Amino acid sequence: MASFSFGAGNAQKLARIPLYGLGRLVTLVTPRTGRWVFGCGAGIADGALALWREAEKRGIDAVWLTTTPHERADAEGAGIPTLPKMSWHGFWATARARVAVVTHGFGDVNPYAVTGAFVAQLWHGIPLKRIGLDAPELVRSAFLPNSALVRRLIGWMYARSAQRIGVLPAASHLVRGRLESAFGIDHRRIAVTGEPRVDVLASETPDGARRVVAGLIPEAGAERTLLLYAPTWRDGDADPGIPSAEEWRAIIEVLARRDAVLVIRSHRLGEGDYTPPVDTDRVVLLGADLLPDVTPAIPAFAALITDYSSLV
């Protein structure tokens, strides 16, 4: 499982400032065509996948920029053409794209060539907690961590880059206000349309979703009640909410009494081992490596246990 911290991520961005400058020089003299580029920090999933399917119906010329062989294989399985994001081909495709579709940040496509494209930032969740400019964590850096100047520079960079967003969909007017504050962009760029990634919930059935889950984790078959646990801890250290051995035993006893299975989907950037210390078929893991896009599977579960996950 990959881990993440804003401190390390921001230090890397500061070191890459010259590359962003060089990329901008290229995009200043490169005409943009009608092609679209897609990318998603969670893989072939989320709102980017939903919008891809709509764009495909409309005959839009597009390509998906991938980071890993696993992503490329998932895309090929779905019939989606790809290019390696951080290759010359990925840079050139982004530099010439009229539209760039992202869900996490500009790094979903080639970050050095995105300036000048119309950016559809679909985001990847509802801001139930402080995000973006509203979160002090955003400006933390492993480089000169105590420097107020560095923190101000990172905040300025984030606010400036957010101005490249052309449209950002919101689930409601309440969410629109939170996104406006978090990204520091004008409310006219935020469209209250609902999130593209949840459209599938209008058509997916509990039986169909259960078959998807059971195909990946056999323990979820039969008539057992399925419970989804989705913690979102991801500050670079192990999740302090992971149960102790005694707590695991108590959890498993409850699951056995209720003939239920606890399906754990920790955040893809989280850290820590959620495997119980005893053998049991009552607790199983459903990570993003098994199912990149969990939204279609939600109807399979009787209950959701989480903290700030937008699966709510």
Domain count, the chain: 2
Decide: 172 and 192 in contact? Cβ < 8 Å.
Answer: yes
State the residue range of the domain holding 261: 204-306
Provide the 8-state DSSP code for 243: P
| Pair (150, 235) in one structural domain | no
Cβ-based neighbour number of residue 175 at 10 Å: 21
Q: Are residues 166 and 44 in the same domain?
A: yes
pLDDT at 10: 58
Q: How confident is the model at residue 241 (pLDDT cuts 50, 70, 90)?
A: confident
Q: Is residue 296 part of a domain?
A: yes
Q: Of 150, 167, 198, which residue constitutes the final position of a domain?
A: 198
Same domain (yes/no): 151, 171? yes
pLDDT digits (tens, 9 = 90+) for 20-61: 889 899 999 999 998 999 999 989 999 999 999 999 999 999
The reply to whether 169 and 218 lie within a common domain is: no
Q: Could you say which of 162, 182, 198 is where a domain stops? A: 198
pLDDT at site 240: 82
In a domain, 311, yes or no: no
Asked if the structure places residue 140 within a domain, the reply is: yes
The structure tokens listed for 59 are 């005959």
| Whether pLDDT at 266 is above 90 | no
- pLDDT: is 271 or 67 the higher one? 67
Q: Where are the alpha helices (DSSP H) in 58-190?
A: 69-77, 88-96, 148-162, 173-183
Residues 179, 215, single domain; the answer is no
pLDDT confidence of residue 164: 93
Residues 99 and 210 in one domain: no
Residue 281 lies in a domain: yes
Residue 24 lies in a domain: yes
User: What is the per-residue pLDDT across 125-162, written as a single tens digit (0 to 9) for each?
Assistant: 888 888 888 877 766 766 666 777 777 877 888 888 88
**Which pLDDT does position 5 carry in this prediction?**
57
Q: Are 189 and 168 in contact (CB under 8 A)?
A: yes
Q: Are residues 168 and 34 in the same domain?
A: yes
Does residue 31 form part of some domain? yes
Query: Does 187 share its domain with 265?
Result: no
Judge if 178 and 159 occupy the same domain: yes
Q: How high does pLDDT run on average in the chain?
A: 88
The per-residue pLDDT for 2 is 53
Last residue of a domain, one of 165, 182, 198: 198
Residues 146 and 72 in one domain: yes
145 vs 147: CA distance, rounded Å = 6
- Helix (H) / strand (E) element for 306: namely strand 303-306
158 and 238 housed in the same domain: no
Count CB neighbours of 171 within 10 A: 18
Residues 54 and 69 both lie in one domain: yes
pLDDT for the residue numbered 38 = 98
Decide if 26 contacts 110 (C-beta within 8 A).
no
Is there a domain that residue 145 lies in? yes
User: Are the beta carbons of 18 and 285 closer than 8 angstroms?
Assistant: no
312 domain-assigned: no
pTM of the model: 0.84
- Could you tell me the pLDDT band of residue 4, with boundaries at 50, 70 and 90? low
State pLDDT tens for residues 78-100. Answer: 999 999 999 999 999 999 999 99
